[in-house]
Chains A and B, each alone.
Chain A
Amino acid sequence: MKKILSVFLVPVFALLFSLNAKSESLTLGWAAWDPANALQELSKEFTAETGVEMNFEFVPWPNFAERMLNELNNQGKTFDLLIGDSQWIGQGAEYGHYVKLNDFFDANGISMDDFNPATVYAYSTWPKGSPNYYALPAMGDALAWAYRKDWFDRPELQAEFKSKHGYDLGVPKTWDELYDMCTFFQGREIDGQVRYGAAINTERGSEGITMGVTAAMYAWGMEYENPDNPYEMDGYFNSDASVEAVEFYRKMYEDCAPPGHSDAYMVANLDAYKSGQVAFQMNWYAFWPGVSKEDSDGRVSGFFANPCQNVCAATLGGQGISVVSYSDKQDLALEYMKWFAKPDIQQKWWDLGGYSCHMDVLGSPDFVDSAVYAQGFLDSMGIVKDFWQEPTFVELMLPMQERIHDYVVNGKGSAKDALDKIIDDWTEVFEDDGKI
Chain B
Amino acid sequence: MKSAVKKFKGLSDKAIAWIFIAPTLILLLAINIYPLIYAIRMSFTNFYANKIGREVKFVGLKNYKKILGKEEIWEKMQITAHFVCWTLVLQALIGLGLALLLNKKFKGNELLTTLIVLPMMLSPAVVGVFWTYLYNPQVGLFNYVVNFFYDFGIFDMIGSSTLAPWSIVIVDTWMWTPFTMLICLAGLRSIPNYLYEAAEVDRASKWQQFIHITLPSVLPFLLLALLFRGIENFKMFDLVAELTSGGPGSATELASINLKREAFEKWKTGYSSAFAVILFVTIFGFGNVYVKVMNKIKER
Contact = CB atoms under 8 A, between A and B. Distances in A.
Interface of A: 66, 69-70, 73, 75, 91, 95-96, 204-205, 258-263, 277, 391, 394-395, 398, 402, 405-407, 409-412, 432
A410 B251 contact: yes
Given A73-B49, A406-B250, A407-B249, A262 B266 contact: no
A59 B244 CA distance: 21
B247 A410 contact: yes
Interface size of B as a range: 20 to 34
Contacts of B138: 258-260, 277
B136 interface: yes
Nearest to A253: B159
B229 to A, nearest CB: 26
B287 interface: no
A261 B159 CA distance: 8
Nearest to B246: A204
B244 A398 contact: no
B214 interface: no
A398 B250 CA distance: 12
Given A260-B158, A407-B249, 13 more contacts: A69-B50, A91-B50, A258-B138, A259-B156, A260-B135, A260-B137, A262-B159, A263-B248, A277-B138, A402-B249, A409-B159, A410-B250, A412-B249
A258 B138 CA distance: 9
B266 A394 contact: yes
A409 B244 CA distance: 13
A192 to B, nearest CB: 16
Given A204-B247, A402-B249, A263 B159 contact: yes
A205 B160 CA distance: 16
B280 interface: no
A262 B50 contact: no
A395 B137 CA distance: 33
25 contacts: A73-B49, A73-B52, A95-B50, A95-B51, A259-B154, A259-B156, A260-B138, A260-B140, A260-B156, A260-B158, A260-B159, A262-B156, A262-B158, A262-B160, A391-B51, A394-B267, A395-B266, A398-B265, A398-B266, A402-B249, A402-B250, A405-B248, A409-B159, A409-B249, A410-B249
B264 interface: yes
A406 B156 contact: no
Contacts of B160: 262
Contacts of B41: none
A212 B224 CA distance: 48
Contacts of B250: 402, 405-406, 410
A234 B171 CA distance: 42
Contacts of A96: 52-53
Nearest to B251: A410
Interface of B: 46, 49-53, 135-138, 140, 154, 156, 158-161, 244-251, 253, 261, 264-268
B264 A409 contact: no
A292 B285 CA distance: 59
Given A73-B52, A259-B137, A259-B154, A412 B265 contact: no
A251 to B, nearest CB: 16
B248 A409 contact: yes
A405 B249 contact: yes
A406 B252 CA distance: 11
A424 to B, nearest CB: 11
Kindly list the 4 A-B residue pairs having the minimum CB-CB distance in the complex, ordered from nearest. Answer: A262-B159, A406-B249, A410-B249, A204-B247
Majority SS of interface residues in chain A?
A: loop
Contacts of B161: 410-412
A277 B136 CA distance: 14
B261 A398 contact: yes
B171 to A, nearest CB: 15
Nearest to A96: B52
From A205, A260, A406, residue with most partner B Cβ within 10 Å: A260
A305 to B, nearest CB: 29
A143 B264 CA distance: 27
Nearest to A264: B159
B289 to A, nearest CB: 33
Contacts of B246: 204-205
A394 B268 CA distance: 11
B249 A260 contact: no
B119 to A, nearest CB: 23
A113 B50 CA distance: 33
B136 A205 contact: no
A96 B136 CA distance: 44
A410 B248 CA distance: 5
Contacts of B159: 260-263, 409
A137 B260 CA distance: 33
Contacts of B135: 260
Contacts of A75: 52
A57 to B, nearest CB: 19
Contacts of A91: 50
A150 B265 CA distance: 43
Given A70-B264, A260-B138, A398-B266, A204 B248 contact: yes
B247 A409 contact: yes
A409 B250 CA distance: 10
B247 A262 contact: yes
A409 to B, nearest CB: 4
A258 to B, nearest CB: 7
A124 B128 CA distance: 39
Nearest to A409: B248
Contacts of B154: 259
Contacts of B51: 95, 391
A411 B159 CA distance: 10
Contacts of B251: 410
Contacts of B136: 260
Contacts of B249: 204, 402, 405-407, 409-410, 412
B246 to A, nearest CB: 7
B37 to A, nearest CB: 22
A73 B267 contact: yes
B116 to A, nearest CB: 29
Nearest to A262: B159
A262 B245 contact: no
B59 to A, nearest CB: 11
Contacts of B248: 204, 262-263, 405-406, 409-410
A221 to B, nearest CB: 26
A412 B249 CA distance: 8
B266 A263 contact: no
A205 B247 CA distance: 8
Nearest to A196: B138
B245 A66 contact: no
Nearest to B157: A260
